[in-house]
Amino acid sequence: MLLTRRAVLKAGVLAGLIPDAGSLFCAEGAPVDDAVIRGLRFLSGEQQPSGAWRIKSVEDNAATSLAVMAFLAAGHLPGEGPFGSQLERGIRWVVDRQQANGLFLHRAGHGPMYVHGISTLMLAEVAGVVQGELRRRVRTGLERAVQLILKAQAVGKGRDHAGGWRYGPDSADSDLSVTGWQLLALRAARNIGCDVSAEAIEAAVSYVRRCASPDGGFAYHPGHGVTPTRSGTGILCLEICGEHHAPETLAAADYLLRRPLRQHDEWFYYGVYYGMIGMFQVGGRYWESTRSHLGDLLLGMQQADGRWPPLGSEAAFGEIYTSSMALLALCVEYQYLPIYQR
């Protein structure tokens, strides 16, 4: 990832080091920039002395990886600027905790492949911007993590589940939620030259397509009911794999215009993350409607100290998770994370 002068200036603004020049940056304007500044300051203050961020009271790979990506999405780099050392310490903490088989464990519970996909995606996004010994360690860890994802995809599965992923590396079934993170990680890794075959991506895309409903939207499993959150996941998966404006994508995008994500929906922040980034990829009226609806929701929900409050089904994951997901969604138009660039 090469930062342009615009990116460097934006990083300075978000750190409070350079006055904001108003229209210098993205079309969303000052309210979003201000929200990002306050959100990053909150995350900065929550990093532990070890370099990790926590889910509740537990230092965790997913929380740390999401927080690192939130800073990257706002234009900050490891080893540079006001947050550079914090980012390096966070990256090192994750790399140090990779298991012998390549797996990144979820120390706060739940299925390990969720965290593995998130941490692998983070390593793919930082592999080109870290330096020296850390660069070598990140690349080695990334390649091992990618191989574990590919092995998990190759586990024998029935037709409905083939090509996807589920909670564990040896799972014989799949779901769209876990598959989303693995597919993002594989695409980001392939973009920087890791050995990810086109066949592996195609198999995953085929699984995502099977989760699409003929009436519009995506489901957790093939043939199940659609939800706004899963629809955003399906849209982003197809878009970042080059299936731009596929019929399933446009049908799901139309579904989200009819039934937009709401604050009381289950997995709201998860839906915000996938929905905003996915609809940004689709573009046009789909993005304009989503930016207005979900962007306004997020701006109104941010607390005075910069955090976003956990809600409902996501309460157990805490404010690092919710704040990082909100920031990643709000920063999509900055286009600093390569995986989210159009």
pLDDT tens figures, 211-236: 999 999 999 999 999 999 999 999 99
Confidence bin at 108 (pLDDT 50/70/90): low
Whether the predicted model's global pTM rises above the 0.95 cut = no
> What is residue 111's predicted lDDT score, i.e. its pLDDT?
82
CATH of 5-208+305-340, one of 2.30.30, 1.50.10, 1.20.120, 3.10.450: 1.50.10
CB atoms within 10 A of CB 224: 14
Q: Tokens 């990144």, residue? A: 104
> What is residue 68's predicted lDDT score, i.e. its pLDDT?
98
pLDDT tens figures, 159-215: 999 999 999 999 999 999 999 999 999 999 999 999 999 999 999 999 999 999 999
205 to 34, 190, 201: CA distances (angstroms): 37, 15, 6
Reading the block at residue 195, the tokens are 């050995």
- Average pLDDT for the chain: 91
Nearest to 187 by CA among 169, 208, 171: 208
Nearest to 174 by CA among 149, 153, 188: 153
> What is residue 20's predicted lDDT score, i.e. its pLDDT?
40
d(CA 252, CA 186): 23
pLDDT > 90 fraction of the chain, expressed in percent and rounded: 87
Amino acid, single-letter form, for residue 170? D
d(CA 304, CA 307): 7
pLDDT tens figures, 224-279: 999 999 999 999 999 999 999 999 999 999 999 999 999 999 999 999 999 999 99
Reading the block at residue 246, the tokens are 């596929």
> What is residue 7's predicted lDDT score, i.e. its pLDDT?
47
> What is residue 54's predicted lDDT score, i.e. its pLDDT?
96
pLDDT tens figures, 286-337: 999 999 999 999 999 999 999 999 999 899 999 999 999 999 999 999 999 9
> Given a cut of 60, is residue 25 above it in pLDDT?
no
> Given a cut of 70, is residue 156 above it in pLDDT?
yes
State in Å, rounded, how far the first CA of the chain is from the last one: 14
> What is residue 297's predicted lDDT score, i.e. its pLDDT?
97
> What is residue 154's predicted lDDT score, i.e. its pLDDT?
98
